[in-house]
Amino acid sequence: MFDRLSDKLGKVFKKLKGHGKLTEANIQEALREVRLALLEADVHYKVAKTFIDRIRERALGQEVMTSLTPGQQVVKIVHDELAALLGGEAPRLELGGKTPVALMLVGLQGSGKTTTAAKLALYLKKQGRQPLLAPVDTQRPAAIEQLHRLGAEIGVDVYRSQPQQNPVALASEAMAAAVAKGHDVLLLDTAGRLHVDAPLMAELQAIKADVGPAEILLVADAMTGQDAVAVAQNFHEALDLTGVILTKVEGDARGGAALSMRTVVNKPIKFLGVGEKLDALEVFHPDRLASRILGMGDVLTLIEKAQDAFDADQAKELERKLRKETFTLEDFRDQLRQVRKMGSLDQLMGMIPGLNKIKGMKDMQPDEKELVRIEAIINSMTPAERANHVLIDGSRRRRIAKGSGVEVQDVNRLLKNFAMTQKMMKKMIQAGKKGGKRRFLP
Ligand code: GDP
């Protein structure tokens, strides 16, 4: 799911991250593209509009404009809003209260209701529950047989009803049977129709009143996009749903139903059906799905760490020093400390998706010990030496090497690298001045 959306958003953000500093126009353009990508993903247009408005408000605020990594900040905001759009917290299945607890599955014919009933039964069984499946359909013997077959496949009892009974009486009997046989969950697979119709709704309302289910879950086919959302709205008005299960999600490249459901129906998606097999049921995690859509891996954690470690004031001070060309070994050491505050390099590299897959990348990993050594060398210098590295002659180098427990070559190498860094920074600033562009370093 969301392959295309993911692709499109990836391109928008790549462009955005390419700008050192963002202007309002950059952000507006990116948001326009995000909106189009959402509409192409079959997201309800009102949902797309509200979503973009929220992001615009945040993206044009202080939070982004004064940050070190404005492009990444926008991505983070889109991620947070996407997670909120998908429903915020991961919802739980309501299984408390009286035993046995009844769960009612409702939905149109063909949505995957019977399959999902069996999937849920298997999910609950794996959690140590003793579910009873009950087909509450008086019209389609084939659907009843299908549930019996699936129940046998997963080793879950299925209530055997008499044909042509009244569905409300049938649900009641199934509940009595669940009590008698010591089941703790009763899963009602209700009848489906090809369209939403009044007699069906009346039947479902009567069952609801009689059984008092803890959950009324709509099973909806994700491939039908906005139709699924409209169906959910209808069912919700009649039955006051507690949640939604989207099926056939693995075949839905667009994801519009998932993205619109929460805003339009205001009920959480609780599970995703991701295949025909009975274990192809996933608990729905809005935040993880948002990360997946944005192809972000653990980058979010990384950005949060960077935010904690760097503060914008310090960065400005650094920039000022660079401009005045007074960047010293002391500043260099501070930078090093900030980077190390974010965690071990190994750990940081591991959080960047795909990095470890790049050929040769493993050997290029910076050596943690090297950073420690560099800091020790700088620590062994006097404040005057740190402020002006030109002072550091041969005898001072030997003293520093001894003080920090390294070889003189290590000190030489550090000083050479530092001089090079300084030169490079000077060049970058001059280029920046010519181009009239402001940019933060590092
Ligand atoms: P019902 O009429 O709503 O009870 O629907 P069924 O449970 O009979 O399912 C209709 C069809 O959808 C069957 O062929 C199922 O195998 C299929 N199906 C159900 N859920 C999923 C799913 O998550 N992914 C895929 N690919 N197929 C599904």
Tens-place pLDDT, residues 111-128: 999 999 999 999 999 989
Nearest protein Cα to ligand 1, atom 16:
276
Indicate whether 383 pLDDT > 50: yes
Pocket test for ligand 1, best of 106, 115, 193 (most atoms within 8 A of CB): 115
ipTM: 0.99
Cβ–Cβ under 8 Å, residues 171 and 105: no
Distance 221 CA to ligand 1 centre (A): 8
Phi, psi of 98 (to 5 degrees): -75, 155
**pLDDT band at residue 68 using 50, 70 and 90 as cut-offs:** low
333-361: average pLDDT? 59
**pLDDT band at residue 198 using 50, 70 and 90 as cut-offs:** very high
Would you state the pLDDT for residue 409?
93
Distance 84 CA to ligand 1 centre (A): 28
Q: How many CB atoms lie within 10 A of CB 46?
A: 11
Q: Is the dihedral of CA 423, 428, 429, 431 positive or negative?
A: positive
Q: Which atom of ligand 1 approaches the CA of 280 most closely?
A: 23
Indicate whether 363 pLDDT > 80: no
206-229: average pLDDT? 95
Distance 111 CA to ligand 1 centre (A): 6
Distance 275 CA to ligand 1 centre (A): 8
pLDDT per residue as tens digits for the range 346-358: 555 555 554 444 4
405-423: average pLDDT? 87
Which among 315, 313, 314, 287 has a CA at the least distance from the CA of 301? 287
Would you state the pLDDT for residue 442?
34
Return the ∠ at Cα 299 (arms to 298 and 300), rounded to 5°: 90
Would you state the pLDDT for residue 320?
73
Same CATH fold assignment for domains 101-284 and 299-435 = no
- The residues spanned by each domain of the chain are 3-85, 101-284, 299-435
Distance 440 CA to ligand 1 centre (A): 54
DSSP state of 389: G
**Which amino acid makes up residue 203?**
E
The region of weakest confidence among 178-187, 212-221, 257-266 is 257-266
Q: Which atom of ligand 1 approaches the CA of 219 most closely?
A: 3
Nearest protein Cα to ligand 1, atom 12:
112
Nearest protein Cα to ligand 1, atom 5:
112
Q: Which atom of ligand 1 approaches the CA of 274 most closely?
A: 23
Distance 280 CA to ligand 1 centre (A): 11
Q: In whole angstroms, give the CA distance from residue 53 to residue 174.
A: 49
Would you state the pLDDT for residue 433?
56
DSSP, collapsed to helix, strand or coil, labels residue 280 as coil
Residues at the binding site are 107-114, 189-193
pLDDT per residue as tens digits for the range 29-38: 999 999 999 9
Residues at the binding site for GTP are 107-114, 189-193
Indicate whether 439 pLDDT > 50: no
252-278: average pLDDT? 90
Q: Which atom of ligand 1 approaches the CA of 281 most closely?
A: 23
Contacts of 123 (CB under 8 A, 6+ apart): 271, 281
Indicate whether 438 pLDDT > 50: no
DSSP run (H or E) holding 195? none
The region of weakest confidence among 2-6, 121-125, 161-165 is 161-165
Would you state the pLDDT for residue 304?
56
**pLDDT band at residue 183 using 50, 70 and 90 as cut-offs:** very high
Q: In whole angstroms, give the CA distance from residue 273 to residue 245.
A: 7
Return the ∠ at Cα 438 (arms to 435 and 442), rounded to 5°: 115
CATH topology of domain 3-85: Four Helix Bundle (Hemerythrin (Met), subunit A) (1.20.120)
**pLDDT band at residue 88 using 50, 70 and 90 as cut-offs:** confident
Indicate whether 313 pLDDT > 70: no
Where do we find the tokens 């047989």? 145
The region of weakest confidence among 71-80, 161-170, 334-343 is 334-343
Ligand 1 shell residues, CB under 6 Å: 107, 109-115, 143, 192, 247-248, 250-251, 273-276, 280
Indicate whether 402 pLDDT > 60: yes
17-40: average pLDDT? 87
Would you state the pLDDT for residue 131?
97
Nearest protein Cα to ligand 1, atom 19:
112
The region of weakest confidence among 53-67, 82-96, 326-340 is 326-340
Sheet holding 281-283, edge to edge: 157-158, 131-136, 185-190, 101-106, 215-221, 243-247, 269-273, 281-283
DSSP run (H or E) holding 133? strand 131-136
Nearest protein Cα to ligand 1, atom 20:
112
Distance 210 CA to ligand 1 centre (A): 28
Pocket test for ligand 1, best of 144, 218, 276 (most atoms within 8 A of CB): 276
Is the bond into 442 cis (omega within 30 degrees of 0)? yes
Would you state the pLDDT for residue 295?
67
Choosing among 2.30.60.10, 1.25.40.10, 1.10.260.30, 2.60.120.200, the CATH entry for 299-435 is 1.10.260.30
Q: How many CB atoms lie within 10 A of CB 68?
A: 17
58-73: average pLDDT? 76
Would you state the pLDDT for residue 367?
65
**pLDDT band at residue 300 using 50, 70 and 90 as cut-offs:** low
How large a percentage of the chain has pLDDT more than 70?
Answer: 81
Distance 309 CA to ligand 1 centre (A): 49
Would you state the pLDDT for residue 168?
93
Architecture of domain 101-284: 3-Layer(aba) Sandwich (3.40)
The pair of three-digit structure tokens given for residue 78, joined into one six-digit string: 């889109």
Cβ–Cβ under 8 Å, residues 58 and 261: no
**pLDDT band at residue 428 using 50, 70 and 90 as cut-offs:** low
Distance 274 CA to ligand 1 centre (A): 10
- E strand spans, 248-316: 269-273, 281-283
Cβ–Cβ under 8 Å, residues 93 and 215: yes
**Average pLDDT over the chain, rounded to an integer:** 84
